[in-house]
Amino acid sequence: MQKPMQAAAIAELDNVGVTYTNGITALKSISLQLNRGEFAVVLGSSGAGKSTLLRTINYLTPPTQGRIVVDGLRPLSKPQVLRLHRQRTGMIFQQHQLIERHSALQNVLMGRLAYHSFWRSLLPLPQTDQQLALDCLDRVGLLAKALTPANALSGGQKQRVGIARALAQQPQLMLADEPIASLDPTSAHRILSLLRTICKTDGIAALVSLHQVEFAQAYGDRIIGLAQGQVIFDGPPSVLDRHTLDQIYTDPTTVQIRQQ
Ligand SMILES: Nc1ncnc2c1ncn2[C@@H]1O[C@H](COP(=O)(O)OP(=O)(O)O)[C@@H](O)[C@H]1O
Ligand SMILES: [Mg+2]
């Protein structure tokens, strides 16, 4: 019998694995739950499987093993069900993925497209969507830049537009893949603090991948340590010790060379 998801859980991964067509196994038997209002950080070195994990939860890379169950929506392999899941899942990327010649407002409105049919989305979106997009820009402190083209914004401002766009989806789950990787430390703190505050206020479950320990410890309620496609730590930052960090950041190729 299938065990019920805990009340706070929005998504559950059960024994999830991903092997790419080139034979690389990026994720091995991942089992975890993502909970409402929890700011979880995935920590891992380059190639550990962080991006694959985030993409798999949104089925951009479907799992080749195991199962993902999202709050009241199954099965995700069914196109109509997946559409609903993606509507309510905000994605934030390292390189913002904004349309550079479009205004901040037009970029944020992209977050509303999933709520409309293809034909309807070719027309200007309804007033309620426009108002929602402006509210989202206001929440990230960029209302005054609503009509500024993305290419005239700084890196930090672009990422704030990226957050506003994800927020315009009114998500229950936020997936952010190295959202601060291309920012200076001051902007990085500002972005993580903003993202955390918004997710906490709205009760959104957040899964944010990072590779810097100090940021993960400063902002994460929970740290999920990934190494070679496996979860090797899952707990609060207070119990993340030196030994575990060494495991997360040990490059297996270096170990092999050292052992020779
Ligand atoms: N589209 C892909 N096709 C084949 N292999 C991939 C693909 N994307 C990632 N990989 C491989 O999967 C592993 C995990 O990659 P990734 O999830 O990008 O890790 P991270 O985000 O932690 O750097 C790496 O070995 C990478 O080379
Ligand atoms: Mg990555």
Average pLDDT over residues 163-180: 96
Q: What element of type H or E holds 174?
A: strand 173-177
- Does the beta carbon of 225 sit less than 6 angstroms from any atom of ligand 1? no
* Lowest-confidence segment of 56-60, 68-72, 123-127, 211-215 by average pLDDT: 123-127
- Tens-digit pLDDT profile for residues 243-256: 999 989 875 554 44
Whole-angstrom distance, CA of residue 164 vs CA of residue 142: 9
Q: Model-level pTM? A: 0.91
**CA–CA distance, 137 with 127 (Å, rounded to integer):** 15
Q: Name the residue ranges covered by the structural domains of the chain.
A: 37-64+90-254
Please name the residue whose Cα sits nearest to atom 10 of ligand 1: 26
CATH code matching the domain that covers 37-64+90-254, chosen among 3.20.20.220, 3.40.50.720, 3.40.50.300, 3.40.462.10: 3.40.50.300
Could you tell me the distance, in angstroms and rounded to a whole number, from the CA of residue 251 to the centre of ligand 2?
Answer: 16
Q: Which of 18, 21, 52, 177 to mutate to test the pocket of ligand 1 (most atoms within 8 A of CB)?
A: 52
Tell me the CA distances in angstroms from 201 to 80, 125, 145, 205, one per residue in order. Answer: 29, 27, 23, 11
How far apart CA 193 and CA 195 sit, in angstroms, is 6
pLDDT at 258: 39
188-245 pLDDT, tens digit per residue, is: 999 999 999 999 999 999 999 998 999 999 999 999 999 999 999 999 999 999 999 9
Task: Encode pLDDT of 24-59 as tens digits.
Answer: 999 999 999 999 999 999 999 999 999 999 999 999
* pLDDT at residue 4, rounded to an integer: 59
Distance CA 153, CA 9 (A): 36
Distance CA 81, CA 143 (A): 34
